[in-house]
Structure 1
Amino acid sequence: MLFSYGDCMTATLDITPLRSLVAIAGAGGFHRAAMTLHLTQSAVSQHVRRLEQATGRQLVERSGRQTRFTPDGDQLLRSARRILAAHDDAVRLFESPDSRTLTIGASEHAAEMLLPEISGALREALPSTGFRFRLDRTAHVERALEDGVADLIVLAELATPAPAERSRLRLRWFAAQDFRAPTDGPLPVIAFDEPCMLRRPTFDTLSAAGREHELVVEVSNLSGGYSAARAGLGVILLPHIGRAPEGLVERTELPQPPEVRMSVRTAPATPASAVRAVTRAVRQAMQG
């Protein structure tokens, strides 16, 4: 249990720090979360300290540039997402057309790679429009668009066989630099729990190649996946652009996984300028 009922009666969890906590999980660390929220890194750190003071628990562990949620942090993260969803839904009910804030949803994998670029592109294209970002599991982000809660969403999806697209990238295996795959036993695998589009290709790729494997760690968010991999517990399959995540190296000797594509979906009333800005930002990031 995160904290006792009596503690809850005296603790106040403000929206702004909760939004920073969710951004840290989605962006994979304090620095990128600060870029996404257009805050300083010290402000994001202060938000986490406020939450830790309110709950009386350590929520996030930091070692250099590496960030890991504690079990209490993971539990609060799940609650924070529900709280922010309810809060943002309530705000939308009372917004006038002239003061409308666009809600941009993104899966964790898309957010980790693209959110700073998307945020900058939107603010440049629509400087007088407010934006709110909603980071969650792919299935939840899709539901937000269907329910009219999100105006535009960006997802990492498995690519179907088709001519080359500029928004495609291949999945890559990562592990700690000192990780050594066993030569006489199954390959230890870190995987995301359901629902996650990476879970099936993780196991299917290894099975198709005849590589014996076993699930050793199951994680619910990207931060947990990074932490498990950096600890040398196994290999993890991720979509990634550019350099390997901090503390990890690509394992190119493993079977080649399928490609994914970055998909942009929109609600009918979403401004065309916002759609163009996000689509352009995604393509430029993929090419870079």
Structure 2
Amino acid sequence: MPGVLDIAALRTLTSIADCGGFHRAAAAIGLSQSAVSQHVRRLEKTVGRPLMERDGRVMRFTPHGETLLAEARRILSAHDEALLRLGLGERDAGTIVVGSTEHAADRILPAITGALRERYPAHGVRFRLDRSSRLNDGLNRGSIDVAVFLGEARERDAAPAGALPLSWFSAPDWRMPGPGVPLPVAVLDGPCTIRRRALETLAEHGRPAAVVAEAAYLAGVMNAIRGGLGVGLLADVGPPPEGLRRRDDLPPVPPELLHLRTRAEAPPRLAEVTAAAVRALLTPGG
């Protein structure tokens, strides 16, 4: 009999990626850290391969883990949409669903979580990371309460929520290619605002570039950069990502505006509380 992927365990796996580790994921989804570990082991038993591995003091997704993570997001999205279409997808009224694009989510989501738990102590918090267009679709359908996203704000009720700093990153021992050699760049699959900004900036400065790695999710881009395949343009909030260093020898890229929307029947002051948490995180010295 084929293996069966457990929905709860898949949600835990995505929470580990979204929150930046087991401890934060456990706090975000209301489980013990041992329960989070058990969910990962359950998935590893199903697929027959390790999904995470230790790298120094941190745990990272293996290539198989990244593949399952991408599939998990697709499965969970299809699962939740199916429940909504069947009339079975009404969420617990005590849960606030927060949507975000992946960029800087490991910094933004904990900040939002802390603010929401202080303002709405009786509510749980759940995350959904996705592309901006799908987050806006979720807001329009009522499956997401509040979302922070990049890119063009097509909806009239979108409000600015701060500016996300951007910097170039590479592996610590990565060397810049010689004159006339295109700059190798790792990017997310298009359409992607950060991908577009990276390639446009290099073109504007007359710097030839070649996309050497594309990934459906940010973890794949960061692993390509860590592996020395090239450079990448990433959100720059707090310390550099583990195993990467900032590059000051490439054209600077101005911050990208973040937008925020809430669904029509969202809890009172949700937009205000969320926007304040994001701005405090992104404000220097905040």
Using the TM superposition, give the Cα deviation of residue 130 of structure 1 relative to its aligned residue in structure 2, in angstroms: 3.0
- Mapped partners of 2:175, 2:92: distance in 1: 58
Aligned to 2:175: 180
- Mapped partners of 1:40, 1:174: distance in 2: 34
Aligned to 1:53: 45
Asked if the contact 1:158–1:258 (Cα under 8 Å) also holds between the matched residues in 2, the reply is: no
SS in 2 for 1:108: coil
Aligned to 1:167: 162
Please state if 1:217 is matched with 2:179.
no
Alignment of 1:1-288 (within 5 A): 6-8=1-3, 11=4, 13-64=5-56, 65=58, 67-70=60-63, 72-89=64-81, 90=83, 93=87, 99-157=93-151, 167-184=162-179, 185-287=181-283, 288=286
Q: What's the TM-score once normalised by structure 1's chain length?
A: 0.84
Asked if the contact 2:29–2:126 (Cα under 8 Å) also holds between the matched residues in 1, the reply is: no
Identify the range of structure 1 (46-55 vs 93-102) with the bigger mean alpha-carbon deviation.
93-102
Using the TM superposition, give the Cα deviation of residue 207 of structure 1 relative to its aligned residue in structure 2, in angstroms: 0.7
SS in 1 for 2:252: coil
- Mapped partners of 1:141, 1:95: distance in 2: 17
- Mapped partners of 1:267, 1:68: distance in 2: 33
- Mapped partners of 2:136, 2:161: distance in 1: 22
Q: Structure 1 residues 269, 39: closer, same or farther in 2, change over 3 A?
A: same
- Mapped partners of 1:197, 1:18: distance in 2: 27
SS in 1 for 2:274: helix
Asked if the contact 1:68–1:227 (Cα under 8 Å) also holds between the matched residues in 2, the reply is: no
- Mapped partners of 2:14, 2:257: distance in 1: 24
List runs of 5+ in structure 2 lacking aligned partners. Answer: 154-159
- Mapped partners of 1:112, 1:211: distance in 2: 31
> How many aligned residue pairs are there?
274
List runs of 5+ in structure 1 lacking aligned partners. Answer: 1-5, 160-164
